C-alpha cells in the first residue's frame, strides 16, 4: 500500500504551502510539489511531513514543514 500527499504536482502546488522555521509562509517549489506527489509507504521515514496546524512542531521541535493552504492563519496570508 502506498500513499501520496497530493494527486499530482499541480495539485500539490494549489493545496500546500511551506512553513519556514521562522514561521514565514511561502509557495512550494516545483521539486517540493513533485515530492508531495510521490507515492510513499505509510511507514517510510522519507515521506513528507505534513503539519496538522500552523503551530504544529516536528518531533525534533522544528516549526518548518508542509501545510495545507487552507490551514494558514489569516494573519500569515
Distances (CA, A) of 43 to 16, 48, 63, 65, 76: 22, 11, 22, 18, 32
Residue 32 clears pLDDT 70, i.e. is over it:
yes
**Closest-CA residue to 36 (of 65, 73, 61):** 65
Q: Please tell me the pTM assigned to this model.
A: 0.89
Per-residue model confidence (pLDDT) at position 1: 61
Q: What is the residue-averaged pLDDT of the chain? A: 92
What is the radius of gyration, based on Cα positions, of the chain?
12
Per-residue model confidence (pLDDT) at position 34: 97
Per-residue model confidence (pLDDT) at position 55: 95
> Confidence band (pLDDT; 50, 70, 90) for 16?
very high
- Determine the average pLDDT of the residues in 51-72: 94
Amino acid at each position: 500500500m502506498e500513499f501520496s500527499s497530493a494527486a499530482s504536482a499541480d495539485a500539490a502546488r494549489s493545496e500546500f504551502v511551506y512553513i519556514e522555521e521562522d514561521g514565514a509562509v511561502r509557495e512550494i517549489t516545483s521539486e517540493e510539489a513533485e515530492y508531495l506527489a510521490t507515492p510513499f509507504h505509510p511507514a517510510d521515514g522519507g515521506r513528507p511531513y505534513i503539519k496538522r496546524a500552523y503551530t504544529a512542531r516536528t518531533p525534533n521541535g522544528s516549526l518548518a514543514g508542509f501545510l495545507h493552504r487552507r490551514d494558514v492563519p489569516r494573519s500569515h496570508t
